[in-house]
Amino acid sequence: MKLHDQKLRELALAVIQVETQAVAALAARIDDSFVAACKLMYGCVGRVVVTGMGKSGHIAGKIAATLASTGTPAFFVHPGEASHGDLGMITRQDVVLALSNSGETEEVLTILPIIKRIGVPLIALTGNSQSTMAKFATVHIDVSVEQEACPLGLAPTSSTTAALVMGDALAVSLLEARGFTRDDFALSHPGGSLGKRLLLMVEDIMHVGNEVPVVTETALISDALLEMTEKKLGMTAIVDAKQRMMGIFTDGDLRRMLGRNLDIHNTSITEVMTSSCAVIPADILAAEAMQIMEQKKINALMVVDQDQRPIGALNMHDLIRAGIV
């Protein structure tokens, strides 16, 4: 079959439309059953055990991961493996969240009597409220869809999307209920760029000590330029007699100064510095410092203590090296 650009676009748009309608229909299912499911998971003293077969299993694995990373301890159990020993992972303190569009998935149904026997609550997400799983469940949440996005009506598409969105709704509702914070989230995401953005503080990467460019208010422009050249951060702080920040002089200030024909060896730095400059404390996230730089369209910041004395310096290159940008 020959591929036609317009036809491909039309097919893609049709899929998005069908799945959008499927997700929109879920709003009416945020009912007493949804609340009951949240309460069961919120009150769980063990783990939320998420299970599903095939495509539902892939969605179940993602839901388990989302729950675990947002304050609700959870893990995925393959229903096929569960009937061959992995049921031992499930304890009486747990809650089981089972996914099946038909509600009749054999591998899941096989383990339900054991779950019932040990008294573990079952939350079922199915597309059939009259199914065996729905009737067996402690709480049933309807995730049925009017149609699959697959034109054959066979490949799980809209149904898996609906289940995934409902799982996200459960996870985020629990996150809010638990008062889960950015710091809590960071503790479970220490690796990679996400971990760096959430955990790295300004004090971890700022220049300190002799690396901090500083001149006094009595300095000349030439003195400031020498300090900037030596410290290689594209700026220098200007401080008063008590070492408190008075202003900053940057590469940008230097460029703006060039048209004024000033004698750099006889002109005070205070005449060309930027007095209303942005400064930051050391105990904020490096990601917040980056946001300040972006908002103010600057490439460097001085770090000050409570008395507005410079204790560090940070520029965009430091953020890039740290993996924040």
Starting at the edge strand found earlier in the chain, the sheet holding 245-250 runs: 214-216, 235-239, 245-250
Q: Calculate the CA 193 to chain-centre distance.
A: 11
In this prediction, residue 188 carries a pLDDT of 65
Helices (H) and strands (E) in the chain, counts: 14, 11
CA angle 66, 110, 78 (to 5 degrees): 30
In this prediction, residue 228 carries a pLDDT of 94
In this prediction, residue 187 carries a pLDDT of 62
Which helix (H) or strand (E) segment is 79 a member of? helix 79-82
In this prediction, residue 287 carries a pLDDT of 85
| Residue 80 · residue 87 · CB < 8 Å | no
In this prediction, residue 214 carries a pLDDT of 96
Domains and CATH numbers, the chain: 5-180 (3.40.50.10490), 202-321 (3.10.580.10)
**How many other C-beta atoms lie within 10 A of the C-beta of residue 250?**
20
Q: Is 192 left (phi over 0), alpha (psi -120 to 50) or beta?
A: left
In this prediction, residue 1 carries a pLDDT of 59
In this prediction, residue 150 carries a pLDDT of 83
In this prediction, residue 319 carries a pLDDT of 87
Amino acid type, 295: Q
Which helix (H) or strand (E) segment is 317 a member of? helix 316-321
In residues, how long is the chain?
A: 325
In this prediction, residue 169 carries a pLDDT of 97
CA 179/CA 181 separation, integer angstroms: 6
Q: Regarding beta strands 122-126 and 139-142, do their DSSP bridges make them parallel or antiparallel, or are they unpaired?
A: parallel
Low-confidence ranges of the chain (pLDDT < 70): 1-2, 182-198, 325
Amino acid type, 104: E
pTM assigned to the model: 0.65
Which helix (H) or strand (E) segment is 225 a member of? helix 221-231
The DSSP secondary-structure symbol of 133 reads H
